[in-house]
Every structure is written in C-alpha cells, then in structure tokens.
Structure 1
Amino acid sequence: MTQQKIVQEIFLPSIHDGIRLEARLSYWKTKENVQEQEDKAVIISHPYGPLGGNNNNNVVVAVENFFLRKGYLTLAFNFRGSGKSKGRTSWTGEPENNDFRTMLNFLANSGKISDDNIVIIPKISGVIIIGYSYGSLMATSLTSSPTQYPFTTSFVLISLPLSVIWFLTFFRSSAYQTNLQNLLSSSSTRVLFIFGDNNNVLGNERWNVVELKGVDHFFVYQQMEDVLIDVIQKWLQVDSTSGSEN
C-alpha cells in the first residue's frame, strides 16, 4: 500500500487526577494493519503555558515535522491549562510531571486510553522524550518514574531553564536538580542538551551538549530552527551508527 499520513487529535485523562489532556498524534501508515508495523516515537512538550506555551509553538512544530519526515510516530501534547487541555498550570510542576507520564504510558499501553477507548497505533520500539524550555524541565522528572517501559528511552532537552527553576516550580528546585542528576548519572540513557549561547553543563560519553551561537531562547527566526534541526539530525545519525535502539 502507499503510505498514508495519519493525524489525530486525542484526549487522555492525566494519571495525576484525571484532567483531560489534549495531544496531537501523527504517523505514517505503511501497512493495512497498523498494529503489524513497528515505529520509533517522540513525545514533544512545550514552553510554560501561562506565558503562551502550547503544542502549536514554533519549535514544537518544527521538531514534530522533522521527526514525522523521518518516519517516527509523534505525540505533541498540551500540559494542563494549555490549548484544549483542562485544568490550570500548577505551582510545583508535579501534576505536569504526571501529564508527561500519561503520554509515555499511552505509548507503552499500545494506545489504550481506557478499557473502552483504544487508539490503534503501531508497535513502539523506542521513544525519544523531547522537552522545550519548561517542557524540558518537566521531562527530567521521567527519570524518577518507577514504571518499566517495553522500549528504550532517550532525551532531547532544548533550552533547559536552569536559572529560573525556582520560579517555575515554586522553589522546589532541589527535586528537579535531583532529577537532572539522576538523568546525567545514568550509564545507559542518551541525552542531548541544546542551548542558545549558554553552556550550563558539560558532557560525557552518554550525553551531549550543543551551544548554538547567536540563537535566543525562543528560536524566533527560521534559520534558528534550521540550526536546531541540524543538531538533532546529526545526533540521530551518531545514534544510528552506534546501533542504539532510538
């Protein structure tokens, strides 16, 4: 069959409190029975909702389109209080941590939302967890998840807001610093940090830091987005030559 692009708006109850979360699910259908195909996936999160962040953010969409062109299943979601997601942004980030886990669980459970609501998706062989700005901070919380997933995970953290963690999490900075350290101390998880003119951390053999010269926090120009995508593309190429799952 010829490839068919599938784009669906779906709503998932957050595992935190059941709040309805909006997500945009996209992939290429390559087999008549979608469940017989196997895809890699990315989950993409957005900047701080009260300042206008949502899954239609320019960086979110640029990253989403890139991975979709590469044949990945993409899941770009809205945290509570953003887009069509219900509720409101929390002070601590804890509910948003679980909003993120909700998306990961959705993929791990083969598209199951509830006993009577299952979205048909391909089998997922690996997931790249992508966070931009506030979303990257929330992504670090997934390192502390007790759940064992049936696929490998890696991380791309774009413009991680280290200097304002105290503001975004109501002075719960220590918890997020611990999450970050857990991520960095992992011997098996691949991590890509991308900053604009701000090298806040150093790298080792499992995680890379890229500083983008002349790029601001918001990637306001097309050429800034192009540079970002080029960095991710090169990281994926290194990953594929190393024989990693993601």
Structure 2
Amino acid sequence: MPEVIFNGPDGRLEGRYHHGKSSNAPLALLLHPHPQHGGTMNNKVVFALYHAFVRRGFSTLRFNFRGVGRSQGKFDNGQGELSDAASALDWMQSFNPNAQACWVGGFSFGAWIAMQLLMRRPEIDGFVSVAPPANVFDFTFLAPCPSSGLIVHGTADDLVPEASVAKLAAKLAAQRSIRVGYRTIEGANHFFGAQLDELGSLVETYLAEACPLRPATSTAAQLAVAGIAE
C-alpha cells in the first residue's frame, strides 16, 4: 500500500495506491466523505471499499482531497474536489495505459463527487456509490447516468434517509442501456459500524459479476516506470 504524492490543480495531493498484478488490471478511484466533517482517505468505509477492489485485482487509489492530511490547498465546496478527483484519475491512467476498465467509487460526499466525475469522464465504466447524500446534494445531473453501477445504503442511516436513496436508485435503474443495482444493509447506520465486513463482501461479490478480469502478464515493468515498488 505505497504512499504516493501527485500534482493536483491546487497543489500536491496525498494518496495510497495499490498496483494490480496484471498489465491490464482495471482501475478504481475511491473518494472520501466530507472534508469539513472529518472525512479522509482513511475513513473506514473508504478503507473497506479500497480492499474490496484490491481483492478483485484492481489497481486502486484512495487519496485526500485538497486541504486534508498532507494534501495542499483548501476546501472548495465540491468544485475543487471534483478537479482533484479528475487529476487523480489522470495520474492513474498515465502509467496504466492498458487498463481493461475504469471504475469510480465514493462514500457520502465522496459518492456525490464520484457521480459527477462519472458524467465528465466517458472512459469510466462503472461505479460503486455508498450512502450517497441524496437528501442534501442535487443528483439531477445524472440525466442520463452514463454507466452501470451499484448503490449501497444502510437501513438505519440517521443522516441520509433510506427512502431518499431508494428513490434515486429507482430513477437511475429506470434508464435504458444501463443496470443500476441497489442493495441495503440491514441495521447499518451512515458509517456502517459493525457492518463494514458485510459491506466489503457485498461490493466484492458485485464486482466479481460486473467486472470479470481478463488474464494478462505481470506488471513489473510498469511498476518500474511508475517508480512504485511492488
């Protein structure tokens, strides 16, 4: 789980990166919850998502938005954070030119940013959105949603009512040419507490079906070019 530093639009950004073992490993970018409410890349839900993608063979990056941890800059109400996410995706793609697929995921505020990035980057093939704050932020920009994906929510979420997320999921699932799954975790609150393992297993099972891996060769040469130790 190497620490990485890469250039963002408002200074350097800090991340943690796992490089997939195959030369065409799919990419996954994971985004953390609200920076002004304690959200960081080390959030437990983000950590669970990160390891679910890693277990499925993805080259996976989680990073701190501007002003969080050692990332430079300051909070920008979502606009700057979206630019940070785009820069993070650029950084991953720069030394993964043969990636077989590209996914984005996020938790809470990070889910909102992830879905915006999905609309702006046509190369993104799928998404995992955990507890998207549909009662706080406007998701009407998903018209239409360009990619299939998964939405996960806890039935006991006291910050984002389950009904608001179910409505969003139903709206997206009704669109043609994509498939949007909606799964709930019984008894889970907004932070999933004791259900983190269940969340990770659910996401991993979904990925196994939605993004089966194609065999490829070792990535030792790519790692050397990227300057990242295996």
Contact in 2 for aligned 1:13/1:19 (Cα 8 Å): yes
AA partner of residue 98 (structure 1): S
Distance apart, 1:27 and its partner CA: 2.3
Contact in 2 for aligned 1:46/1:55 (Cα 8 Å): yes
Structure 2 SS opposite 1:181 = coil
**Residues 1:235 and 2:202 aligned together:** no
Map 1:1-246; keep pairs closer than 5 Å.
7-14=1-8, 17-29=9-21, 37-91=23-77, 93-110=78-95, 123-145=98-120, 149=123, 152-165=124-137, 173=138, 176-178=139-141, 180-183=142-145, 186=146, 189-197=147-155, 198=162, 199-201=166-168, 202=170, 203-204=173-174, 206-221=179-194, 224-240=195-211
Contact in 2 for aligned 1:143/1:182 (Cα 8 Å): no
The alignment's TM-score, normalised by the length of structure 2, stands at: 0.78
Structure 2 SS opposite 1:25 = strand
**Taking CA–CA contacts closer than 8 Å with sequence separation of 6 or more, which of the two structures ends up with the larger relative contact order?**
2
CA distance in 1, matches of 2:119, 2:60: 23
Runs of 5+ in structure 1 lacking a partner? 1-6, 31-36, 111-120, 166-172
Contact in 1 for aligned 2:27/2:58 (Cα 8 Å): yes
CA distance in 2, matches of 1:193, 1:95: 24
* Greater than 3 Å deviation, 4+ residue runs: none
Distance apart, 1:107 and its partner CA: 2.2
CA distance in 2, matches of 1:144, 1:59: 23
Structure 2 SS opposite 1:125 = coil
Q: How many residues align?
A: 198
RMSD: 2.2
Q: Comparing both structures, which one devotes a greater share of its residues to strand? A: 1
Distance apart, 1:240 and its partner CA: 4.5
Runs of 5+ in structure 2 lacking a partner? 156-161, 215-230
Distance apart, 1:29 and its partner CA: 4.6
Distance apart, 1:143 and its partner CA: 3.1
Structure 2 SS opposite 1:129 = strand
CA distance in 2, matches of 1:122, 1:71: 16
CA distance in 1, matches of 2:122, 2:149: 19
Contact in 1 for aligned 2:56/2:204 (Cα 8 Å): no
Identity of aligned residues (%): 27
Distance 1:109 1:148, change over 3 A: farther
CA distance in 2, matches of 1:219, 1:28: 27
Structure 1 SS opposite 2:193 = coil
